[in-house]
Chain A
């Protein structure tokens, strides 16, 4: 299942998450750069599209820097616990060379704010494509 996780920093976050599997210094010019895609809703806000069972390899030289930078303002404003980055860094450290279900590592606040596709439509944030059967040749 895909959950839509709100993120004004969707692109850099997606890039930073992919960096856990393929740090920039081991990537080629034409290689994959992002982990998850994102959409812009009807109000102009961005949402990361996260398959809840998607697993990545945690590279032996994975770095948390980009993710920590994105989360820090949330911590500074009191939305996330002060030890969020410390705990995430410890998780990454413990999983080097192993697999990580990325959604499981998202802070609980982001999971609570996330929505399914149907919930996005019900909230008026996504429109069903309006394509009706053709009535004239």
Chain B
């Protein structure tokens, strides 16, 4: 959550439109919920803060943007703010209001949400679109250590994108550009290789259509990690004793070189529990 400061136009819009009828898509799935971020919408009834912070290219001013009563991002205010220029996402706020926001303090590494006055969209809703080597991360030190966790993400991967990572568990070692011994929810490794998960240099290949939205889930149950995209699954066995470092889980990452079609990241959720029983329902909840 941002520090309380002046009452902005978007604050006013949110307060004026807030209503009791909203039901968050993840309201029924909060047990074990540890991370929840969304660019286009409010995921939880309990969250009443801004969804994103945006920097406009016109003069590099920044502003928080809130949801309407429907739960969707107030895109009218966003487009007004950006004028005919571009808008870049500085922060995707944690909807658990715990400060575990996805942030990018470097201008050139921020993803775009408005391009020349036009909204960037995925599934017809606002999204964070890559225009270069760009990524977001949670604050340093926000580490979860355990061997059970579940992650969900809605995103798309562009056909020309190299080394993209939408959301990942980090098992042991973390390196900013390459995760050794990890399981990414979704990764494109190179133009000649398929999209999938990675684990210590191995790559699971699951069917994804480039440039189209998907919801992926990855569940580490203490012994195995199951990556599922649509009907396709892949399972990798891990030591039951292995720990999951989720300090940077939620990363939206594209590393250099960047080429071809951009990829998009819209929302994600992470649980510190095994959500196998609710997996299908959570995936459906993250499908707008």
Whether B235 sits at the interface, judged by CB under 8 Å, is yes
Interface pair A36/B108, CB less than 8 Å apart? yes
Whether B177 sits at the interface, judged by CB under 8 Å, is yes
Contact partner, B203, options A34, A127, A133, Cβ 8 Å? A133
How many residues from B make CB contacts under 8 Å with A?
Answer: 43
Residues in A whose Cβ lies below 8 Å from that of B193: 131, 133
Proximity string of chain B (158-192) to chain A, C-beta cutoff 8 Å, 1 when within and 0 when not: 00000100000000000011100000000101100
Query: CA–CA, A51 to B106, complex, Å?
Result: 13
Closest to B235 in A: A137
Contact partner, A2, options B2, B107, B132, Cβ 8 Å? B132
Question: Which residues A1-21 have CB closer than 8 A to chain B?
Answer: 2, 14, 18, 21
Total CB contacts across the A-B interface at under 8 A: 97
Question: Which residues B92-142 have CB closer than 8 A to chain A?
Answer: 105-110, 132-133
Interface pair A32/B110, CB less than 8 Å apart? yes
Q: Other CB < 8 Å A-B pairs besides A31-B55, A37-B109, A129-B178, 19 of them? A: A14-B106, A18-B107, A21-B107, A22-B60, A29-B3, A30-B2, A31-B90, A34-B105, A37-B108, A39-B176, A51-B108, A130-B178, A131-B187, A131-B189, A131-B193, A132-B203, A133-B193, A133-B203, A137-B236
Whether A134 sits at the interface, judged by CB under 8 Å, is yes
Interface pair A2/B256, CB less than 8 Å apart? yes
Q: A32-B60, A39-B177, A57-B60 are in contact. Are A132 and B107 (CB under 8 A)?
A: no
Q: A30-B53, A30-B91, A134-B202 are in contact. Are A117 and B257 (CB under 8 A)?
A: yes
Question: Which residues A109-137 have CB closer than 8 A to chain B?
Answer: 117-118, 127, 129-137
Contact partner, A134, options B132, B205, B256, B257, Cβ 8 Å? B205
A–B pairs, 12, beta carbons within 8 Å: A2-B133, A2-B258, A31-B62, A32-B60, A36-B107, A117-B257, A127-B178, A129-B177, A129-B178, A131-B202, A132-B202, A134-B204
